[in-house]
Amino acid sequence: MNLFKKLAVGAVTSMSLMASAAYAQVEIQWWHAMGGRLGEVVEEIAAKYNASQSEYVVVPTYKGGYEDTMTAGIAAFRAKQQPNIIQIFDAGAATIIYSKGAVVPVADLLEKYAGGFDSTDYIEGVRYFYADNEGKMIGMPFNSSTPLLYYNKDIFAKVGLDGPPATWEELEAMAPKLKEAGYQALAQSHSPWIWAENFMSRHNLPLATANNGYDSTDVKILYNTPELRMHWTKVKEWLDKGWYGYYGRGWGDNQDAFVQQKVAMWLGSSGSFGGLTKSAEFKFGAAYLPYWKSVVDEPTSTFIGGAALFAMAGKSEEENKGVADFLKFLTNPEMQYFWHRETGYVPITNAAYEMAKADGYYDTTPDAEIGILQLTQKSGEWTKGYRLGFYVQIREVMYKNFEDILSGKASVEDAFAAIEKDGNALLARFHDTYK
């Protein structure tokens, strides 16, 4: 037999094997945006699920970043080739939820096929973000993180600072000392997320009309407020004084500045914890996101960031059953604890959190608990989340104008007026498209 024939025979045999395997088990396609180490953990989760039962096979596929994954899902849906499960990030939630008929609410799926659903099983901070205005979960929070402050303990000890700042006022008091020792005090990744959205949540301020956008698409943003303008006036001052280092929009570029000990503190995500333990060659700690004492006496909890899993519509009942079964598996305490430990993302159920506590995980790594503690801090009227359309573009508008503030091209007043104007124009456009 020559080589070609051998190959052909091999291909036919393996194809028929695959076909028979697929015939026996229902395949569940899962498109996700988790690269690198996170992607490996996703593969492990799928492998664990597939080994745990024989009815369904979950096939995870990495589709690039959050936006790429959403675009791939949109294109596939339009071609009627959509996956069963797709991971959609916070800023894309409105797009998929308001496209009527694109997804099946996960609460309905679990109710119908997995023996019930109770939203109070989930920790308070994640319960509402991907839910509708009545609290029904549309997407299942998957990788949930929240902004935290990381600080370099070695630098703090060297400079003679006791602990991380709880408020921005305290940070301002620490910054001159750090500067004198040759360090920038602060860097920060993702300014719209941390210094606009979560700023509002931390100080219990509304960020949009119509119940932060949950009640209607006819909505206007409320970012142009004295509190947020004050904050950005301060940020510009910090930059000019050399207290704050701006390393661009890239998440990693700002994190690198912290890892390379150019800056003493960095605002990142609770999900950054796992990566930092590997890359930082110094002792570091995690702390709550600071707040302005001048704005509130006691801060409220932050939003979750990250992404959720959505069950796409147009699938057979058998496959939807599999999706529900898998989501149930994914949210069981063992899997959530595994995900939490491996990645640093918060566990989304109370049971998983209790399990991590009982296991003594936080006794050995107390910093890993900071994110979930912050999410379970006192909640307020405006700490549930937000639902705003074309939010990717609105974040782009914010980035643009924040950069204009920092570079001195625009005054804080002008920049926020531009954010309000352009943001509201986008929201009006979204409303007309999705009404």
Partner 1 sequence: MKRVQFEHSPIPYLFVAPQLLIIAIFFLWPAGQAVYQSFLLEDAFGLSSQFVWFRNYSDTIFNESWLQSAWFTAIFSTLVTFLSLGLALLLAVKANEVIRGASTYKTLLMWAYAIAPPVAGLMGNLMFNPLIGDMYHFMNSFGYDFDHKLHETDAAFVVILISVWKQVSVNFIFFLSGLQGIPKSVTEAATMDCKSPTRRFWTITFPLLAPTTFFLMVTNITYAFFETFGIIDTTTQGAPGGATTTLVYKVFQDGFRGADIGGSSAQSVVLMLVVLVLTVIQFRFIERKVHY
Residue number, 70 or 304, with CB nearest to partner 1? 70
Asked if 245 contacts 262 with a C-beta cutoff of 8 angstroms, the reply is yes
Question: Residues 292, 338, 361, 399: which binds partner 1 (CB under 8 A)?
Answer: 399
Of the pair 349, 401, the CB lying nearest partner 1 is at 401
Question: Which of residues 129 and 247 has its CB atom nearest to partner 1 in the complex?
Answer: 247
Regarding 246 and contact with partner 1 (CB under 8 A), the answer is yes
**Is there binding between residue 99 and partner 1 (CB under 8 A)?**
yes
Query: Contact between 95 and partner 1 (CB under 8 A)?
Result: yes
Q: Which of 20, 23, 100, 182 lies at the binding interface for partner 1 (CB under 8 A)?
A: 100
User: Cβ(390)–Cβ(396) under 8 Å?
Assistant: no
AA identity, residue 337: Y
Minimum Å distance from CB 345 to partner 1? Answer: 23
* 264 binding partner 1? (CB under 8 A): no
Instruction: Using alpha carbons, list the distances in angstroms from residue 17 to 11, 24, 60.
Output: 10, 11, 20
d(CA 412, CA 225) in angstroms, rounded, equals: 11
220 binds partner 1 (CB under 8 A): no
- Our finding on whether 425 is near partner 1 (CB under 8 A) is yes
Number of residues that bind partner 1 (CB under 8 A): 42
Contact call for residue 401 and partner 1 (CB under 8 A): yes
Hey, what are 159's tokens? Answer: 């400079």
CA 213 to chain centre: 18
Residue 187 interacting with partner 1 (CB under 8 A): no
Among 30, 31, 49, 77, binds partner 1 (CB under 8 A): 77
CB of 221 to partner 1, least distance (A): 16
Pairing status of strand 147-152 against strand 263-269: antiparallel
Establish if 249 lies at the interface with partner 1 (CB under 8 A).
yes
The interface region with partner 1, picked from 164-172, 302-310, 335-343, 391-399 by CB under 8 A, is: 391-399
Among residues 34, 56, 57, 92, the one that binds partner 1 under rule CB under 8 A: 92
Binding mask 338-377 for partner 1 (x = CB under 8 A): ----------------------------------------
Residue with smaller CB distance to partner 1, 43 or 404: 404
Compute the residue count for the chain.
435
For partner 1, the binding residue among 251, 332, 403, 424 (CB under 8 A) is 403
According to DSSP, the residues that pair with 168 across neighbouring strands are none
Q: Based on the shown chain and the rule CB under 8 A, indicate whether residue 101 belongs to the binding site for partner 1.
A: yes
Please identify, among the stretches 41-49, 95-103, 203-211, 348-356, the one whose residues bind partner 1 according to the rule CB under 8 A. Answer: 95-103
Q: Is 74 in the site for partner 1 (CB under 8 A)?
A: yes
Interacting residues with partner 1 (CB under 8 A): 67-68, 70-71, 74, 77-78, 92, 95-96, 98-102, 246-249, 253, 256-257, 260, 262, 390, 392-393, 396, 399-401, 403-404, 406-407, 409, 422, 425, 429, 432-434
